[in-house]
Amino acid sequence: MTAHDDRGPWSRSGLVKNGVSSREIPGLYVSEDHSIEECVKHLEGITKPTYSHEEIFGQYCHLGEYIHVPVEVAFEYAANVYSLEEWTFSLRSLHHIGGGLYKGKEFLAKDTSIYVRAEAYPDSRVVDYPCAWDQGDELWMRYHFRFVDARPTIRKPGTIVLWTNVKHPYYDRATEELPDYISKPRARTDRAWVGDIWPHFDAIHKIEIANLKAILEHRYSKL
């Protein structure tokens, strides 16, 4: 079959290996070294019956939800930055301040501005919202969305929306060596810091993804 390897869109010779076969790399767990029975036993050892909140949501906050509207509808809606004024709990009063950057109000905290972009990729149906409280120089709060056709994925019409946030060190009050534009607003005593809410990100985003689902499904079913 070697003769066929380079005929498709990819080729084995195109893999950048820097002269190192994967078999020489320590620490891999692969079928060349472990039988099916061994592997299954290993998987059973890794899988746990229960997990702490910190284990699951400590560094990543992943969500997935089914929405009964066509994927093009869901993507088009979320790609528009103004949709955030409807489906988020508290991001409101957006206006464009230039270069695709928007400034709005964050009603989850007292006297707090939020700066946000909506970066949309129609081919993969990705929408990123890089954002930050208080300033627009470094958009370190980053919401990553993907809209996937539910038909091939779960055999139903509609959309699967995937959403991940990653915990940037600025969320954490223990992080030192900060730029002034983070340390000063983080030190405010008249409000919570956004990172204080990190342990509740799954909860707040579950509320918001439910808002997104309700809005899209309600409007679509009215057609």
Instruction: Please say whether the beta carbons of 162 and 146 come within 8 A.
Output: yes
Q: Is 195 a binder of its own copies (CB under 8 A)?
A: no
Instruction: Please say whether the beta carbons of 90 and 144 come within 8 A.
Output: no
User: Please, which of residues 104-123 interact with its own copies by CB under 8 A?
Assistant: 107-110, 118, 121, 123
Instruction: Please say whether the beta carbons of 53 and 60 come within 8 A.
Output: no
- Shortest Å, Cβ 157 to its own copies: 14
Q: Is 47 a binder of its own copies (CB under 8 A)?
A: yes
List the x/- string, 125-164, binding to its own copies by CB under 8 A: -x---x-------xxx-x-x-x-x---xxxx----x-x-x
Alpha-carbon gap, residue 164 to 128, rounded angstroms: 10
- Shortest Å, Cβ 218 to its own copies: 5
- Shortest Å, Cβ 77 to its own copies: 7
Output the CA torsion sign for 185, 190, 194, 199. Answer: positive
Q: Is 56 a binder of its own copies (CB under 8 A)?
A: yes
Q: Is 39 a binder of its own copies (CB under 8 A)?
A: yes
- Shortest Å, Cβ 187 to its own copies: 19
Instruction: Please say whether the beta carbons of 118 and 81 come within 8 A.
Output: yes
User: What is the size of the binding site for its own copies (CB under 8 A)?
Assistant: 112
User: Please, which of residues 162-181 interact with its own copies by CB under 8 A?
Assistant: 162, 164, 166-170
Alpha-carbon gap, residue 156 to 74, rounded angstroms: 15
Residue 68, phi then psi, degrees to nearest 5: -85, 60
